[in-house]
A and B are shown apart, each in its own frame.
Chain A
């Protein structure tokens, strides 16, 4: 057992380092990933160990970064293309959604695109409307793309390692508010399987389904509800949104009879909408209340810290929503 105290950021770097040591076909490409060490420091030091042929600083050319990763993946490399902010995904959407996602299918299964698009999103830095979004729904809406969003130090490591073993393109979205989060990592532990959700907290009164940073808000709300209201909320971390593990969700919701979905991305047509629809369809006979979405407001993110903080679910809002539901 190798237990280490580390951070989300360092755990990501460890996953990249170990994978690159084991497989020389793994390369990293993106803006500022080499000499600068990554805008959020994830790739710091990797260019020194692996050299400029494998850790490649690119011009500011997002469509070509993602598009060349697609070609590299088809030609035998396993690229990790870094998109500095998920907000730039729109610029790359053709390469991602029309190329990467469809190549296996259009070409009759001849070839896959085993690449990872690493990026980060979310609020918390007063970075404004074009640097604070949660755009996972764009990805989840595209058949052919896998989608992973780690919430813990353990998952930062294990999910990234697993993403680098997938036969199909994976979009891997980190949260900018989690990079400095500390945690214990056991690199030898058998990780939860790729595509499996994790029950972070048991609870018989309702089930909160979430992912990424909102897991921590949901857990904080669950603690408050337990101590102040005697309400026991289960919290499920989806970990990957595609594959989506409904088998973990179903029995807990059937037992509790109530479910809430929490996401930082905007409410309308978002991940929470998809999950609420599925829970409603699949668990209808067991539900005592409508499945409730607590999600980002249907607005852009302001630079004002006050407006920013209140544009996405807070632990207080989740707590209140549960109280409204169970009153």
Chain B
């Protein structure tokens, strides 16, 4: 990994590393789209984080081993930025046994306790209160960890966010709320969902340290996150809003008919990946041909995730009864087995 970057002896450059991470997220998401087009994904409920890479990468750059987090349904980039294996992610998105959750969870329920990923969620706001509990555990067990909830602007419609913020602030927990404001919840623009779109003001009202940052510059996101996460570790929970734009439809089948082309073109100018790339070049930190090689290496890495996920096998049919309860507990009896048992007759 990162051969081209090392060659260019820029590994100390923070922006180069942030760029590298963001490009991996972007390319991974593009491959998820391709997996769907090739009919190899498990379903079409795939939510790409293209345009939001700086949120995932800028925040995760400040996380440590032992920190925990939950994500919303648009969480591939966050997990990848936290160190996930993209091949196992892609296999999960394809519903394969080799995936992180053995094909049971899929794109919207990917998780890895080893990396502190307490789970992606298909319930808007569903993963938010868990970080309050995880923060409580970190405090009582003195782990030094923080717990972060990543969610979209749409989740600010959910009452549970406010209950969670209040508890985190009241108990001074090492907790941070990260609101990725991509301006839309499905077809509803933020100003159509709230009379006060200055979302961080709500967090202030609860006593959290709150900021809004423009997601165009990943270093700005990283700096803001550094400050708020440091505060959270010290018992001052934080709330960070990252302003960005959802480049494509809500999920794979949505062509965004509710917004016009001019708006989309404008929105896509807010491209954190391109912006970081241009800055690396213009500041002389890296030249274009080196960056092209970096991008090509990433493309090769991510292409392989598609081949891997397609080649991997489906889960075993009887695996569906596994993990309803703890290992060693009796599994639920399959309907067919039950019928055979009760209808068995001479």
A→B interface (CB under 8 Å): 31-32, 35-36, 39, 57-61, 63-64, 87-88, 91, 125-131, 267, 289-290, 292, 294-295, 297-300, 302-307, 310-311, 313, 317, 320-321, 324-325, 327
C-alpha gap A230/B95 in the complex (Å): 40
Q: Which residues of A contact B336 (CB under 8 A)?
A: 317, 320
A297, B320: Cβ atoms under 8 Å?
Answer: yes
Say yes or no for B157: interface residue by CB 8 A criterion: yes
Q: Specify which chain A residues have a CB less than 8 angstroms from the CB of B109 in the assembled complex.
A: 128-130, 303
Q: Chain A residues with Cβ under 8 A from B138's Cβ? A: none
- The closest CB in chain A to the CB of B107 belongs to A303
Q: Is the CB of B106 within 8 A of A299?
A: no
B285 interfacial by beta-carbon distance below 8 Å: no
Given contacts A302-B315, A303-B95, contact A292 B320 (CB under 8 A): no
Using A125-B43, A297-B334, A307-B315 as known contacts, say yes or no to A302 and B157 having CB atoms under 8 A apart.
Answer: no
Question: 8 Å CB contacts to A: which residues of B96-124?
Answer: 96, 103-109, 121-124
B188, chain A: closest CB distance, angstroms: 6
Given contacts A35-B188, A61-B157, 8 further A-B contacts (CB under 8 A): A125-B45, A127-B45, A127-B122, A289-B343, A292-B343, A307-B103, A320-B339, A324-B340
Which of B96, B154, B342 is in CB contact (< 8 Å) with A60?
B154
Instruction: Give the CA-CA distance A311 to B315 in the complex, in Å.
Output: 13
Q: Which residues of B contact A306 (CB under 8 A)?
A: 95, 314-315, 317
Digit string of B308-346 for contact with A (CB within 8 Å is 1, else 0)? 000000110101110010000000111110011011010
Query: Bound state CA distance, A226 and B50, in angstroms?
Result: 54
Partner of B108, one of A130, A292, A302: A130
B45 near A35 with CB under 8 A, answer no
Whether A310 lies near B343 (C-beta < 8 A) is no
- The answer to whether residues A302 and B95 also contact, given A60-B185, A131-B122 and a CB cut-off of 8 A, is yes
Name the residue on A nearest B258 (C-beta).
Answer: A35
Cα–Cα distance between A39 and B317 once the two chains are bound (Å) = 31
Using A306-B315, A324-B339 as known contacts, say yes or no to A63 and B159 having CB atoms under 8 A apart.
yes
Chain B residues with Cβ below 8 Å from A267 are 335
Shortest Cβ distance from residue B45 to the other chain A in the assembled complex, whole angstroms: 5
Known A-B contacts A88-B123, A310-B317; the reply to A36 vs B258 at CB < 8 A is yes
